[in-house]
Amino acid sequence: MSKLRHFICAHNLRNYSAQVANKKLPIITCKHPEFNHYEGQTYSKFKGIKLASQGWLHAKSKGDYFIVHGNANKKEEQPVHIKKFDEIGVQPELIEVMSNLGIMMPTEIQAKAIPALLQGYNTVITAETGCGKTLGYLLPIFQHMIEWKPSITEEFNSPLAVVITPSRELATQIGNVAENIAQNFNLNVTTLVGGKTKQKMLNPPVEYCDLLVTTLGAFSKLVTTGIFKVNNVHHVVLDEADTLLDDSFIDKLSHVMKKFSVHNKVDIQVPPKGCQVTFASATMPHELPETVNSFVDASSLKFVRTSHLHKLMPHVPQKFLRIGKAQKPMELLKLVQADVNMKRPVMIFSNQTKTCDFVSMFLNENNVECMNINGQMAVPLKIGKFEQFISGKINVLSSTDIASRGLDTTHVKHIINYDFPLYTADYIHRCGRTGRLGSGDNCRVTNFIAWPREIQMVQKIETSLRKHEPLPNVNANINA
């Protein structure tokens, strides 16, 4: 009898081992395993798709969750051959600078974007957050300026290239990156942000400027008053373009952009003729051509993008937790205390300023040092706050979406969406504050899902993952 039992046990173990060996990697795991989703799994269009979040509108679903471990489109991706810098046309002196900065090979988006910009095309660069878009446009701009500058008569406050951003924090960050490159050449970088615009109008700066990195508001005022000139500008970059194109910026942006001599394709000669436009962002609206046609011919746009466009990051686990609104503070405290104990920097996102302020106050009252930053905060209060977080002086930051776009946060290990964002584009950008190029391992995202609208958004995201499709509704509040 014992031999028979031993035989049966061994047989069952072999069957179980075979099943495990044949089982594909999980893309979605859930509290209820019957809703797990595996790599390559498909669904019958007649039976429909059963979601882990399908019952979340019911109050009894509180405490349910699912975790996304990877991107459901992974199996469809083709290997990408990344060329070396010299193979995509970057000059040796710039390659040497990159090497000194520890950058030996271009990323996928850089390998695609740099040749297009070097050839003078109006270019739309769209790629997942943290993959090197900034250098994707800065390197060709610097290469052009090195070639053009000797043949262009220098004037005060007359840049050869302008990078426009929606926020002072992003402008400062890009300015620092540009300065690290420019200091190796005879090139001048100026960073212009708001806060003292009236003072600059009364006492204008007088300086040679090759590359101007600026916020839209500050640049608009100083160009309108004639303090900065645009006659020598041959490159305009709109960084975080989808934000600059939304309904809060588009009128002012269109007015400013009409001041440039934008060509369908710049004649790359010495000196050049015309101005080329570059749009850069992690998300780009489908209505982009209609939105920009007031200042650039949409048919002239050359689109470059990566295979992960508008998809969840494949290397960062993301947990979606169904929770009651009254449970959120204590659940947050538990997560953040664990992060603090492990010395993991964490960013907490809220949809409204008052919630952002509450989160910071609540954590500080519970002996967790937390700093907050939001768009309604006075400029003097915002100055330096983000730098303190990035430098590691404070490891917990509560923020609205003002800190979700473009900012380089390679040390952040955990993103908590205390409020789930109202738009898919905002979710992509928030998650992109972790798992960036150079971030290291063990990054993650935790989402609190409490309200019916949040549940409906999560159900759309989960459906797109299971159907191997890009995320839905990436247009945010952009109106064509």
Q: Which of 47-51, 53-57, 192-196, 393-397 has the lowest mean pLDDT?
A: 192-196
**Top-confidence residue, 310 or 53:** 53
Confirm whether 11 is domain-assigned: no
Among 243, 276, 305, give the residue marking a domain's end. Answer: 305
Tokens describing residue 234? 């041959």
Q: What is the pLDDT of residues 427-454, one digit of tens each?
A: 888 888 887 766 667 889 999 999 999 9
| Residue 283 sits in the same domain as residue 259 | yes
Sign of CA dihedral 302, 307, 311, 312: negative
The contacts of residue 70 (CB under 8 Å, 6+ apart) are: 25, 27, 39, 314, 315
| Residue 244 sits in the same domain as residue 341 | no
Confirm whether 440 is domain-assigned: yes
Per the structure, how many domains does the chain have?
2
| Residue 257 sits in the same domain as residue 339 | no
CA-wise closest residue to 464 among 452, 454, 473, 451: 473
Q: What is the largest CA-CA distance in the chain?
A: 99
Confirm whether 150 is domain-assigned: yes
Burial level of 237, CB count in 10 A (0-12/13-18/19+)? buried
- Backbone phi, psi, residue 195, to 5°: 120, -35
Q: What is the pLDDT of residues 58-94, one digit of tens each?
A: 989 999 999 998 654 444 444 455 789 999 999 999 9
| Residue 222 sits in the same domain as residue 135 | yes
Residue 306 has pLDDT above 60, yes or no: yes
Residue 7 has pLDDT above 50, yes or no: no
| Residue 184 sits in the same domain as residue 53 | no
pLDDT at 30: 94
Rounded Cα distance, 419 and 354, in Å:
12
| Residue 300 sits in the same domain as residue 336 | no
- Average pLDDT over the chain, rounded to an integer: 85
Give, to the nearest 10 degrees, the angle between helix 353-365 and helix 328-341. Answer: 60
| Residue 247 sits in the same domain as residue 340 | no
Percentage, residues of the chain above pLDDT 70? 84
| Residue 265 sits in the same domain as residue 124 | yes
Residue 294 has pLDDT above 80, yes or no: yes
Rounded Cα distance, 408 and 435, in Å:
11
CATH number where 235 lies: 3.40.50.300
Rounded Cα distance, 14 and 20, in Å:
10
Residue 220 corresponds to which amino acid?
A: S
Rounded Cα distance, 190 and 256, in Å:
19
pTM: 0.77
The β-bridge partners of 446 are 319, 416
Confirm whether 254 is domain-assigned: yes
Confirm whether 311 is domain-assigned: no
| Residue 279 sits in the same domain as residue 345 | no
| Residue 235 sits in the same domain as residue 356 | no
Confirm whether 385 is domain-assigned: yes
Confirm whether 222 is domain-assigned: yes
Among 305, 332, 361, give the residue marking a domain's end. Answer: 305
CA-wise closest residue to 405 among 130, 113, 68: 130
* Nearest-5° Cα angle at 444, 443 to 446: 160
DSSP code at position 84: P
Residue 472 has pLDDT above 80, yes or no: no
Q: What is the pLDDT of residues 140-188, one digit of tens each?
A: 999 999 999 988 888 898 999 999 999 888 898 899 999 999 999 989 9
Q: What is the pLDDT of residues 107-138, one digit of tens each?
A: 999 999 999 999 999 999 998 777 889 999 99
Range of the domain at 248: 86-305
Q: Is beta strand 301-305 parallel, antiparallel or unpaired with respect to 414-417? A: unpaired
Among 305, 329, 351, give the residue marking a domain's end. Answer: 305
| Residue 98 sits in the same domain as residue 218 | yes
| Residue 424 sits in the same domain as residue 355 | yes
Residue 201 has pLDDT above 80, yes or no: no
Confirm whether 17 is domain-assigned: no
pLDDT at 8: 44
